[in-house]
Amino acid sequence: MLFLSASTYVSAVVFLGFMGFIFMRILEDYAGTPQDTSPAIAFFGLFFLPVWVMVPLLTMKSLAEERRSGTLETLLTAPVNATEVVLAKFSAAYVLYLFQWLSTLGFVFVLYRFARDPRLLDLGPLVGGYMFIAVSGMLYIAIGMLTSAMVRSQAVAGIGSFAAIFALTLGLRLIGGITLLQQENLGVMRETLSAVDVFRHLEDFTRGVVDTRQVVFYFTGTALALILSILGVEAKILRS
């Protein structure tokens, strides 16, 4: 049903257009000035910008619209339970999320076809970057599912998803840079914020370093968000 939703195609067009523009600007910068890093690192370094838009568009209707229209209760009269419904909708949104990101491989193909410069096609950062997108995307989609499960309005669900992902990606990084946290007695808090810094995770992945602690963070965060989504759906059904 996601492929029949207008928001899916709006998300895809906005995503590919925006990422294509970013990719073009990165290549222009590399053509004009020598750079120390691969274009792939610069490309994935801006992953959070399309995610802020793409994830809310993919998930805001998944459960909120079902509740608003009253079709969620009808759906659950079939031989399925709340867990199966939430996991199915999560899987569909996650597959579409990966599909849109994998479509950016077309940019790499065009670059390879016309540039044929191995310095622009460093395989390590490309593979690591897409691995990071796949692992971190689970958590972002799960957060979108959670906000959609908590409200009836898809607009509110989209705003809530954007706010939560913004806080996770950029908000924690900004908090970590506060001068007050540089005090010695706040060392534990600094280390905690550093451990959940998604930009540091991306840097590790693009350097070929897969830290199991980071993978566990995304898997446990995804599991927690999905469990809360399931509980939220069950609670709404019982209440209604």
pLDDT greater than 70 at residue 182: no
The DSSP call for residue 168 is I
State residue 133's pLDDT score: 94
121-142 tens-digit pLDDT: 777 888 899 999 999 999 999 9
Distances (CA, A) of 47 to 19, 42, 75, 135, 216: 9, 9, 35, 13, 21
pTM of the predicted structure, to 2 decimals = 0.87
Identify the residue with better confidence: 62 or 161. 161
What average pLDDT does this structure show over 7-15? 76
43-100 tens-digit pLDDT: 898 888 889 988 988 888 888 777 777 777 677 677 778 888 899 999 999 999 998 9
What average pLDDT does this structure show over 216-237? 89
* pLDDT, the chain, mean: 83
What average pLDDT does this structure show over 16-22? 88
What average pLDDT does this structure show over 187-211? 83
pLDDT greater than 60 at residue 169: yes
> How many Å apart are CA 213 and CA 95, to the nearest integer?
24
pLDDT-derived band at 176 (thresholds 50, 70, 90) equals low
Assigned token pair, 137: 């995307």
What average pLDDT does this structure show over 144-162? 89
Question: In the chain, which residue ranges form alpha helices assigned H by DSSP?
Answer: 6-32, 39-44, 48-59, 64-69, 71-75, 82-102, 105-114, 123-150, 154-166, 172-176, 187-195, 198-206, 212-239
pLDDT greater than 60 at residue 240: no
